[in-house]
């Protein structure tokens, strides 16, 4: 019979455990309706926007791109958590991913309000992003954290760009993006403070190139 001490110890997760957890996270992100952490929707107190058809299409396209960005964020964090060396880094990745679920839920809600839907390419972008996250984790925790910091910086840049592109009357979408920017900056700062190092310029450029392809392919589909 196991002693009280052995019963009190948490079981160490095996690679198979992490793989199963990653698969579950993928299904939850791509197929299920995101629940989030319970934080209220930033647009909850704003009246429904009056948008014409062209404005709705523009807002829906931009919010679809933002939704895909959050799908990618879930995949990146899940990939990094699956290969991180230190338990505390793995836990930080999982915590950040949980917070990003709020963004996923808010974007999906806004797409529904705009009579639109998420991108059909979500499974593809999830798989690619998971692979990138896992590779970053294998490179070592300082590079993995640096990857988070750079990812969040680029995400903030494109969210600010979308704030400028959204129709002036679409205050509900703008409220969502403004809160997302606050959260993403915090995640990036936390990663840097935890020991993340700047990525080499070629890696940053490759990330930007992938982001441009993602935005172009998911704006309408």
Give phi and psi for 130, each to the nearest 5. Answer: -60, -45
CB 191 within 8 A of CB 89: no
Provide the b/e sequence for 205-216 (b: ≥16 CB within 10 Å). eebeebbeebbe
For residue 20, what pLDDT band results from cuts at 50, 70 and 90?
A: low
Q: For residue 165, is pLDDT > 50?
A: yes
**Mean pLDDT of all residues in 155-163:** 96
Return the pLDDT at 37.
76
Q: For residue 15, is pLDDT > 70?
A: no
Could you identify the residue written with the tokens 């839920």?
Answer: 105
Return the pLDDT at 83.
80
66-75, 81-90, 144-153, 195-204: the lowest-pLDDT one: 81-90
Return the pLDDT at 32.
57
Terminal C-alpha separation, the chain: 58
For residue 194, what pLDDT band results from cuts at 50, 70 and 90?
A: confident
For residue 100, what pLDDT band results from cuts at 50, 70 and 90?
A: confident
Give phi and psi for 13, each to the nearest 5. Answer: -75, 135
pLDDT tens profile 37-72 = 788 999 999 998 899 999 999 999 999 999 999 999
Return the pLDDT at 91.
72
**Mean pLDDT of all residues in 193-201:** 92
Q: Which residue has the higher pLDDT, 23 or 126?
A: 126
- Mean pLDDT score of the chain, rounded to an integer? 84
Could you identify the residue written with the tokens 């070592």?
Answer: 140
For residue 3, what pLDDT band results from cuts at 50, 70 and 90?
A: very low
Q: Which residue has the higher pLDDT, 16 or 186?
A: 186
Q: Which residue has the higher pLDDT, 80 or 90?
A: 80
CB 79 within 8 A of CB 134: yes
- From 114, 105, 129, select the one nearest 62 (Cα to Cα): 114
Write down all domains in the chain, each with its CATH number in brackets.
Answer: 57-218 (1.20.1260.10)
Return the pLDDT at 211.
92
């Amino acid at each position: 019979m196991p002693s009280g001490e052995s019963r009190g110890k948490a079981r160490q997760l095996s690679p198979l455990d992490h793989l199963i957890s990653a698969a579950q996270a993928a299904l939850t992100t791509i197929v299920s309706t995101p629940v989030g952490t319970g934080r209220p929707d930033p647009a909850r107190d704003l009246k429904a926007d009056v948008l014409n058809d062209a404005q709705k299409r523009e807002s829906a396209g931009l919010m679809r791109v933002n939704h895909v960005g959050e799908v990618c964020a879930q995949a990146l964090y899940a990939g990094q958590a699956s290969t991180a060396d230190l338990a505390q880094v793995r836990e930080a990745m999982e915590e950040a991913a949980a917070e990003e679920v709020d963004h996923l839920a808010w974007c999906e809600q806004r797409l529904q309000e705009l009579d639109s839907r998420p991108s059909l390419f979500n499974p593809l972008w999830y798989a690619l992003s998971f692979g990138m996250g896992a590779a970053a984790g294998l490179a070592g925790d300082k590079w993995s954290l640096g990857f988070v910091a750079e990812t969040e910086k680029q995400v903030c840049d494109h969210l600010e760009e979308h704030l400028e592109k959204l129709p002036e009357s679409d205050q509900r979408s703008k409220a969502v993006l403004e809160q997302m920017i606050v959260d993403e900056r915090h995640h990036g700062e936390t990663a840097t403070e935890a020991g993340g190092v700047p990525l080499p310029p070629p890696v940053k450029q490759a990330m930007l190139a992938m982001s441009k392809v993602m935005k172009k392919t998911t704006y309408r589909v």
